[in-house]
Structure 1
């Protein structure tokens, strides 16, 4: 399992499910839009505090960002 790919795919999946653009989501999470874009494109690693910010903004349990959906 490629954890960066799983995380990136899950961030994008949950973000689009709630109908937020990268810009709106970044604002809600307190992060920069280009940072969210880089995460979704698998170009950035991410600090644990930012993982929590993303999960909180998505209103999901943090572990769901690391569960591979087949």
Structure 2
């Protein structure tokens, strides 16, 4: 797994574990939602500054984006689509 793919895997994993939509993460980090999607698909190339900002929002160290998954680990599942119901 190359570096870009590794970052993509972990960004999606961390975001979905926290129940954040791409839209919410993008808004909080000051980037476009389409760019978050590109990063998660391994098409975008994030700067160290952006990875640092994303890590802060996800409450992890920047190194969390470079953790290699186990060979048996399945790709992170997407969040359920649609808006959350109001409480």
Q: How far, CA to CA, are the matches of 2:69 and 2:61 in structure 1?
A: 15
Structure 1 residue 27: deviation in Å?
A: 1.0
Q: How far, CA to CA, are the matches of 1:47 and 1:62 in structure 2?
A: 12
Structure 1 residue 14: deviation in Å?
A: 0.3
Larger Rg: 2
Give the equivalent residue in structure 2 for 1:3.
3
Per-residue CA deviation, residues 2-60 of structure 1 (Å, 9 max, x unaligned), is: 11111000000000000011001111222211110000011111111111111011110
TM-score, structure 2 as length reference: 0.76
The CA RMSD over aligned residues, in Å, is: 0.9
Structure 2 unpaired stretches of 5+: 71-87
Give the equivalent residue in structure 1 for 2:85.
none
User: How many pairs does the alignment contain?
Assistant: 70
TM-score, structure 1 as length reference: 0.93
Give the equivalent residue in structure 2 for 1:53.
53
Runs (4+) off by over 4 Å: none
